[in-house]
Each structure stands twice: as structure tokens, then as C-alpha cells.
Amino acid sequence: MTSSPLPPDLYCVMGNPVGHSRSPAIHARFAELTGERLRYERRLIALDGFAQGVRDFVAEGGRGCNITVPFKFEAQALATTCSDRVRLSGAANVLSFASDGSIYADNTDGLGLVADITRNADVPLAGRDVLLVGAGGAAAGVLGPLLLAGARHITVANRTLAKAQALVQSHAALASLQKSELVALTPQALEANFDVIINATASSLAGAEVPVPASVLRPGCLAYDMMYGPAAQGFLDWARQHGAVPRDGLGMLVEQAAEAFLLWRGVRPPSAQVLQEMQQAL
Ligand code: ATR
């Protein structure tokens, strides 16, 4: 008698909206290239239904999920254990469900950003001066890994200064441990220029002006937008016009997915190859 094969392990991305997410395509390709047997779905979750959405998914046998807007803070609150990165940023983009019912949360956004800058773009962060623009959830998720990557100085610039100050305060101990200088400013108060500028605001999405003056760009510096596609275009055009090297967040997306895949499956997928394929397809 032949037994039927076990169904593939189930994963998903939860968000609202979630239709735009490229995570299903990325994880399907990772699975194909590594030979891992898994199915990865996209799940639209009601704005007031995150905890129920997670319970339903676990009841169906779900092994892990990625979390996108606006649930990254709720995901952190739902977890039973979490990484230091989650504790520091207060937000999670990956959940892993164990058979004893426990939920582990991690945040791989910052690892993805650092990997894309240092490995894919081949721009070192150690000893460099970095400007992080924005102080919302996206900025909070990457500040810890930027400090751990050895940046010499990080300025967090935000329209609402109090939010930048709060982010600097919550990361002050890590900055001191890393011997990095960490300061909060309004965009108007920026006087220095930087080796790496990272846009973590939603300004391009809103069609607004780039929220910092071009004087922040050192000649030939890397100007990185954590968005990709049309949402990043305004910032990338501005960077190119002012002599910077522009880069969008597609590589960050692929690399954060690779870190999640590694956490779930114990196998590191060939992320550089998948990024190259996606860049060619666009
Ligand atoms: P996310 O999770 O994507 O970071 P968020 O937590 O709402 O979203 O944060 C959005 C960030 O983009 C904030 O830093 C916000 O600035 P404020 O804290 O002053 O609101 C920034 N932002 C959004 N639109 C902007 C604009 N038009 N100009 C400058 N900054 C903007």
C-alpha cells in the first residue's frame, strides 16, 4: 500500500492591503531553488481581526507568516517570545508557530536592508555617516541593525522631532555599546552631509517633496529608498539629479524574505539570484 505524501508546509503574508505583496512570488522561488516543500499564500486580514486571523491560520496548520502594514506592532504584542530586534523596534515582520502553541516573533527588515546595502550594492556601512529619514515603524525596524552594522554616526531626521527623539532614546544604549553617535534632528536643522541616506518615510507614496535638502548628499553617496516601484521614483530621480547613486528597496524586500525563510526552514535561499531575476523582470 502506498501512503499519500504529506501536504506541503503552509506559510503566508498577512496585511491590509496585501494584494500588492511580492512575498508569495519570492518565497515560491526560494522554495523552488532550495527544494523545500511549502505553500505560501496571501491573506487579507480585517483591520480589527489580526489576532483572529493568526488563530485561524494556525488552526489550518500554518507554520509561519510574514506581517506587513498595519499589523507589525500587533504581531509583536501577540508573540510569546521574540528576538532582541523586535524588543528594540517594537515591531515584528515574521512570526513562527511552534507545535506547543508558542509564537516567536522576529524583525528581518533591518537585516534585509543591511544585506542589500553591504552585499548587493557593495557599499560598506562600518565607519560611515548615515542619515535615516523618518521615524515611523519602517525607520524603527532598521535602526538597530544599522547600528550593529557599525555606522560611525546616524542622524534620524523627522518632520515630527519628538518621534525621532523617541527612536534615538530607545536605541541610545545600543549606540553607546557600538560607539556610534546617534542624534535626532528636524529636516530643516540638517547641516552635515552623509555617505548613505535612507528614506524610510511614506513621502513618495503621498506624492510629496523629498523631505530633506539636497545638501545632505555627499558626492557619489548612496541614496536608498525603502520603497520600490513607482512609490520610490520621486526620491530616486531627486538623488540621481544631485549626483548620488540611487537604489530602491526591492533588494531589501528579497533579503528580509531570505532571513524569514532561513528562520522557518533552516536553509539560506540564493537571494542575490532571486533579486537579479526580479530586477530583470521589471
Ligand atoms: P511606516 O510604518 O511606513 O514607517 P508611519 O509609522 O506612519 O509609517 O511613519 C511614516 C513616516 O513617514 C513618519 O516618519 C512620517 O513623519 P511624521 O512622524 O512627522 O508623521 C513620515 N512622513 C509621511 N509623510 C511625509 C511627508 N509628506 N513628508 C515628510 N515625512 C513624511
Asked if residue 4 belongs to a domain, the reply is no
Residue 3 located in a structural domain: no
Whether 136 and 100 share a structural domain: no
176 shares a domain with 80:
no
The answer to whether 136 touches 202, Cβ cutoff 8 Å, is yes
Let me know if residue 26 belongs to a domain. yes
Q: Is residue 71 part of a domain?
A: yes
197, 198, 201: residue to mutate for ligand 1 pocket, most atoms within 8 A of CB: 201
Q: Which of 24-33, 154-163, 227-236 has the lowest mean pLDDT?
A: 227-236
Same domain, 142 and 120: yes
**Could you give the number of structural domains in the chain?**
2
CA torsion angle 157 224 250 182 (round to 10): -40
Going by pLDDT thresholds of 50, 70 and 90, the confidence category of residue 3 is low
Instruction: Give the model confidence (pLDDT) of 105-159 as tens digits.
Output: 999 999 999 999 999 999 999 999 999 999 998 999 999 999 999 999 999 999 9
pLDDT tens digits along 205-224: 777 789 999 999 999 999 99
Ligand 1, atom 10: nearest CA belongs to which residue?
A: 136
Whether residues 153 and 59 fall in one domain: no
Ligand 1, atom 18, lies closest to the CA of 160
Helix axes 161-170, 137-148, angle to 10 degrees: 40
CA of 183 to the centre of ligand 1 (A): 18
Whether residue 230 is found in the same domain as residue 275:
no
Shared domain check, 114 and 25: no
pLDDT in tens, 56-99: 999 999 999 999 999 999 999 999 999 999 999 999 999 999 99
Whether the bond between 5 and the residue before it is cis, its omega within 30 degrees of 0, is no
Residue nearest to atom 8 of ligand 1 (CA): 136
* CATH number of the domain that residue 77 is part of: 3.40.50.10860
Query: What is the CATH number for 183?
Result: 3.40.50.720
Q: Ligand 1, from 93, 159, 210, 216: best to mutate by most atoms within 8 Å of Cβ?
A: 159
- What is the whole-number distance in angstroms between the Cα of residue 163 and the centre of ligand 1? 10
pLDDT tops 90 at residue 243? yes
Residue 193, domain member (yes or no)? yes
Q: Are residues 156 and 95 in the same domain?
A: no
159 burial class (0-12, 13-18, 19+ CB within 10 angstroms)?
Answer: middle
Q: Does 134 fall in a domain?
A: yes
In this structure, the answer to whether residues 33 and 95 fall within a common structural domain is yes
pLDDT band for position 1 (cuts 50, 70, 90) = low
pTM score, whole prediction: 0.96
User: Are residues 116 and 186 both part of a single domain?
Assistant: yes
Same domain, 133 and 237: yes
**For 180-193, how does the pLDDT look when each residue is reduced to its tens digit (9 = 90+)?**
999 999 999 999 99
Whether residues 234 and 128 fall in one domain? yes
Residues noted as catalytic: 72
Residue 269 structural domain: 9-107+252-281
Atom of ligand 1 nearest to the CA of 70: 2
Interatomic CA distance for residues 244 and 216, integer angstroms: 10
**Same domain assignment for residues 176 and 130:** yes
